[in-house]
């Protein structure tokens, strides 16, 4: 049965364009569209994560927190730690750790806004 499940997993990966292994994501994973999504098998992603097309979480050991939004085209190229409630902008390249409650964008990704829990608004950095 182990080989059968491996075969089915590979067949579906090629058909849908996903390379996602079992037990990597917490509950509540949302994939907006089918397309190329590659996640290294050593990465761990928290609950309620949203991932869009052309995302590549390449290097093993990356840890992504809960309630994260990963936009289309994001590349995570080093083993990094991404905090909770983080928004990563489209086509960003993440190569360093990101704290909680931030919005990052660019090449390489930089913090552009932080969420202020007192005012319940995003504030520019």
Q: Which domains does the chain have, with CATH numbers?
A: 2-124 (2.160.10.10)
Q: pTM here? A: 0.86
Q: For the chain, what percent of residues have pLDDT higher than 70? A: 100
For residue 7, is pLDDT > 90? no
* CB neighbours of residue 105 within 10 Å: 17
Give the DSSP per-residue string, the chain: -HHHHHHHHHHHHHHH-EE--TT-B-S--EE-S-S-EEE-TT-EE-SS-EE-TTEEE-STT-EE-SS-EE-TT-EE-S--EE-SS-EE-TT-EE-S-B-SSEEEETTTTEEEEEEETTTTEEEE-
Q: What band does 99 get if pLDDT is binned at 50, 70 and 90?
A: very high
């Amino acid at each position: 049965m182990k080989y059968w499940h491996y075969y089915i997993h590979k067949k579906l990966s090629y058909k849908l364009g996903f390379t996602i292994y079992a037990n990597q994501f917490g509950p509540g994973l949302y994939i907006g569209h089918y397309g190329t999504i590659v996640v290294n098998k050593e990465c761990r992603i928290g609950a309620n994560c949203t991932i869009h097309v052309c995302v590549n979480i390449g290097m093993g050991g990356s840890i992504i927190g809960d309630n994260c939004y990963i936009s289309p085209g994001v590349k995570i190229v080093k083993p990094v730690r991404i905090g909770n409630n983080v928004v990563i902008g489209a086509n960003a390249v993440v190569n360093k750790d990101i704290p909680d409650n931030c919005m990052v964008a660019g090449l390489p990704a930089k913090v552009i806004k932080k969420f202020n829990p007192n005012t319940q608004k995003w504030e520019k950095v």
